[in-house]
Amino acid sequence: MEESAFCRTKILIGDECLEKLKNAKVAVFGVGGVGSFVVEALARAGVGCFVLIDKDQVSLSNINRQLIATHKTIGKLKVDVAKERILSINPEAKVETFAEFFMPGNTNILNNSITYIVDAIDTVTAKIELVMQAQKLGIPIISSMGTGNKLNPCLFEITDIYKTQVCPLAKVMRKELKQRGVKHLKVLYSKEEPKKSGIIGENGKAIPGSISFVPSVAGLIIAGEVIKDLLKT
């Protein structure tokens, strides 16, 4: 067997499926704690085209949970660091980056060339808008619910938004999507009761706690689901 970057993957899924991944174009909205691990796993699985959307720069407080965060990358745009990492894994990959927040009215990113969308954004308004645009364009999407204030990665599962429980973010999303007539949305969520944070930020809101092995597992599970869906088409 001739050695290549994806020869072990080819043994598992075969040439045809590997070609499907090479031709797939996945948009990842948010490349932080969850999204950075989604990107990593997709790149190592052989996905050939990426669109990365995130306005933030790497900060010191990201180091405990974000794959792209090291002392060397502090201050750099997250999408730039993620792109560099993708190309270090697969120099033939195509990567588009948008250093901006995705908000209502933003229509310059999504189009029918995108095969799959990953929502790893942490603001409700942006998540809802992304779901609505994805469904309008007929692009498959998976949305990450809350991963902060949690310690048990074994309680993550993939389900429909209307089958979720416990998660505060999922509760808000259920209500908002139901009002907009959305019938289904594939999500990753945790059945773990979130721990309460006693630290209040400058905006008056509680700062969520986090740890290395929770958002990372969430990202890897999402990536696995994306790969399975891509290979079904």
Please determine, for residue 198, whether its predicted confidence score (pLDDT) is greater than 80.
Answer: no
The arithmetic mean of pLDDT across residues 76-85, rounded, is 98
Q: At 141, is the pLDDT very low, low, confident or very high (cuts 50, 70, 90)?
A: very high
Please determine, for residue 107, whether its predicted confidence score (pLDDT) is greater than 80.
Answer: no
Average pLDDT, the chain: 96
Residue 187 in any domain: the answer is yes
Residue 2 in any domain: the answer is no
CATH of residue 42's domain is 3.40.50.720
- For residues 41 and 215, is the Cβ–Cβ distance under 8 A? no
Please determine, for residue 233, whether its predicted confidence score (pLDDT) is greater than 80.
Answer: no
Residue 1 in any domain: the answer is no
Give the whole-number percent of the chain exceeding pLDDT 90. 91
- The whole domain housing 163 covers 7-232
Sheet containing 186-190: which strands, arranged edge to edge?
Answer: 94-98, 49-53, 25-29, 116-119, 141-144, 186-190, 156-160
Rounded to whole angstroms, how far apart are CA atoms 81 and 148?
23
Number of domains forming the structure of the chain: 1
For 161-177, the pLDDT digits (tens) are 999 999 999 999 999 99
Residue 78 in any domain: the answer is yes
For 10-58, the pLDDT digits (tens) are 999 999 999 999 999 999 999 999 999 999 999 999 999 999 999 999 9
The arithmetic mean of pLDDT across residues 119-127, rounded, is 95
